[in-house]
């Protein structure tokens, strides 16, 4: 019997911005990630676990320099998730993203750099070298 699908993850690899002389070193060095979870499965940490593994894959297997993720400014569950996995809030953009309602909404960009991975996990990593 196969396991039920309870959500999905998105990973889009892209070139980081660079000056022409060093453009080859920026190729494929940034990833945008995203996620959606079945609402019936929310509140158990499944998305957090999946996004941590996605970040691990980006940094430890793809060896990218930077991972970013976006959400609408009012999407508190996603913002909490990004902070829980150690991403930093970098940008608050005003009326940048079009909602399906037809309204332009504010959005947030979170990021993590390769030298910030793996982040310390409070209560788990304390006391360890
Ligand atoms: C964003 C989204 C995935 C968050 O779902 P979620 O259930 O809050 O996330 P998790 O599965 O990681 O669960 C974390 C919640 O469970 C709780 N939790 C319970 N047990 C947990 C555990 N063992 N580990 C971590 N969290 C746990 C956490 O406290 C947290 O709740 P809180 O945010 O109220 O404090 C979900 O709301 C969603 O799919 N939204 C629609 C899609 C979307 O907005 N995508 C963003 C654009 S990229």
**CA 24 – ligand 1 centroid, Å:** 37
In angstroms, the CA 40 to CA 24 distance is 44
Per-residue pLDDT of the chain (129 residues; tens, 9 = 90+): 788 999 999 999 999 999 999 999 999 999 999 999 999 999 999 999 999 999 999 999 999 999 999 999 999 999 999 999 999 999 999 999 999 999 999 999 999 999 999 999 877 765 544
**Which residues share a beta bridge with 14?**
30
The SS3 call for residue 60 is: helix
Number of the ligand 1 atom closest to the C-alpha atom of 80 = 33
What pLDDT, on a 0 to 100 scale, did the predictor assign at position 124? 76
Could you tell me if the CB of 54 is within 6 A of ligand 1?
no
**CA 34 – ligand 1 centroid, Å:** 13
In angstroms, the CA 23 to CA 21 distance is 6
Could you tell me if the CB of 36 is within 6 A of ligand 1?
yes
Closest CA to 101 of 74, 69, 128, 70: 74
**Which residues share a beta bridge with 35?**
9
Under 8 Å between Cβ of 36 and 46 = no
Could you tell me if the CB of 81 is within 6 A of ligand 1?
yes
Query: Is the Cα dihedral 76, 81, 86, 89 positive or negative?
Result: negative
Could you tell me if the CB of 45 is within 6 A of ligand 1?
yes
């Amino acid at each position: 019997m196969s396991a039920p699908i309870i959500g999905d993850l998105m990973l889009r690899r892209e070139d980081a911005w660079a000056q022409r002389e060093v453009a080859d070193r920026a190729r494929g060095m940034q990833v945008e990630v995203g996620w959606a979870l079945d609402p019936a499965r929310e509140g158990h940490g499944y998305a957090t676990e999946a996004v941590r593994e996605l970040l691990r894959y980006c940094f430890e297997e793809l060896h990218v320099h930077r991972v970013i993720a976006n959400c609408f400014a009012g999407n508190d569950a996603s913002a909490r998730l990004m902070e829980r996995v150690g991403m930093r809030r970098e940008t608050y953009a005003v009326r940048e993203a079009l909602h399906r309602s037809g309204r332009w909404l504010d959005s947030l960009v979170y990021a993590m750099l390769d030298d910030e991975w793996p982040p310390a996990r409070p209560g788990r990593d304390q006391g360890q070298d």
